[in-house]
Structure 1
C-alpha cells in the first residue's frame, strides 16, 4: 500500500508541476532590423531572458517576421519589439498583429521600436508616438520620473541620471499614462520643450501597450534600475489573463 501511495503522490505532484509549467505566460522578443542595427540587441535579449526566468514567464526570440501569423502569435501573452528598425512586416503580417492586439495581446516597444513601421498609422498609435530624430551621440542627461507608483518606475529616483540617445517624437497619442520625461535642460538636442515624454503605457484597441525610449547602449541592460523598468512594462503587457 505504501508503494501505491508513493506512486500516486509522485504522479499527482508531477501532474501539478506540469500544470504550473503550462500556465506560465510566454513572451516573444522580435528584433528584426532593416535599417540601423543596435549592438545592444543581444544584451537586451539576454537580460529579458534572465528576467523571465526570475519572474515566472518564458521567452522566445526571433528576427523572423514569419512568426506574425494568427496561429503563432496566439501562443504569446506579449510581443516585445526590441530595437527593431524599418518596415519589418508585410501587409499580411501587419493584419495578423492587429488581430492579436484586438484579441487582448500585449505589446512592449523598446528604444527604436518607435522608428519601425513609420508609415503604418495603427502601429504608431499602438506605440504611442513616432520617432523623428535624436542628438548625434548618446550623452548624459536626466530622466524626470513623473509617475512614482507604477511598477516600472516606482523604484527609480525622481531625477534619474542616464546616458542614452534622447529621442524626439511626433504623432503623439494623447491618452497614454506617461511614466517619465526627458529633462531637456540636461542635454542638447531636445526639440519638445518642458513636456517631453520618454516612457508610457496605455490600453489600446483591445490590448495593452508599453513603450520606453531608453535602451540604446548595451550597458543599459546590465543596469538593475533599467532591468526593473522594462520588467514592469513586460508584466503590464502580459496582463492578468
Structure 2
C-alpha cells in the first residue's frame, strides 16, 4: 500500500487553516502530521479538511501552545501518547494504519535561547525530553514504525546555513546533536529525508526575523521523517516544500514529505 506522508509545524492551525487546505489540495498527501496546532482538539477546524477527504484524525491539543495532530485519508486508529519529561505538554501522539504501521508525531521543545541547563530551564527540559525518548524507544523497541515532526534540532553540518556560526546556537549545539543521535540509535531509526537526499544543504525552517528569508537563506533542517530499519527501504521520493515559506502569512516551517511503499 503506497502512501505519501507530510509533516509540518503549522504554528497555529486555526490561524493558518487556509494554508493547510492549500497544501492538502495541491499536494494531496495521504497523511499529514501537524505540530504546534495551538488549539484544544474540540476547536480544531476539521470541517474543511474532511471535505477534502481527510476523514480521520487523532490529536492532542492545548490552548494557545504546542499540540500535535495526524490527519489522514486512510483509516487510522489512535495509538496513544506520552508526556515526555512530565512537562504536561501536548507534544506527542501516535496512530496506527490498518497495515500495522505506527506513526509517531513529535514536537520536541525548542529549548530557549541559552544552551545551558543551569542558566535556562527550557534547555534542560529539551535534553530531558530527548533522553526520555531515547529510553522509551530502547524499552518499547519499535518495528514497522515512522517517526516524524519538528524535532527542533538540525543535526548535520549541511542541515544549517553555517555550521561554525551555529555551534553555540540552540538547535545545532553538539550536546543536542548527541542527544538526538541517541534517540535515533535507540530505535534503529533511519533518516528517510537524508536517505533520499544524502548530501547538500537542506532546510525546513527560516526565521521570521529575516526580512528577506529567501535571499539570506539562513535556514535549518528542524523537521524530520524517520523510519525503523525494517521499513526504511520502502521510503522514497522525499521532498521539502520550500515555496510554502513564501505563502501569505506563512509558518516559519515548511512541509517535509516522503512516500512509502508498504
Coarse TM-score class (shorter-chain normalised) = 0.3 to 0.5
Larger Rg: 1
Select the structure that is richer in helix. Answer: 1
TM-score (norm 2): 0.32
TM-score (norm 1): 0.34
